[in-house]
Structure 1
Amino acid sequence: MSLPDIRTLVPHAGPMVLLDSLVSVGDETLCAEVNITAETLFCDGSAVGSWVGVEYMAQAVAAFAGYEAQSRGESVKVGFLLGSRKYEVACPGFSIGSRLHVHVQRALQGENGLGAFGCRIVDADDADADGAVLAHATITVFQPDNVNEFLQQISNEGAV
Structure 2
Amino acid sequence: MDFLTTDLVDAHEDSVGVLDPILRPYGGTPRFAGPIATVKLFEDNSRVREALAQPGEGRVLVVDGGGSMRCALLGDMLGELAVSNGWAGVVVYGCIRDSVALGKLPLGIRALTTHPRKSQKRGEGQSGLTLRFGGVDFVPGHWLYADEDGVVVADRKLL
TM-score normalized by the length of structure 1:
0.26
Decide which structure has greater helix share: 1
When the two structures are superposed, what TM-score results if normalisation uses the length of structure 2?
Answer: 0.26
Which structure would you say has the larger RCO, counting Cα contacts within 8 Å and 6 or more residues apart?
Answer: 2
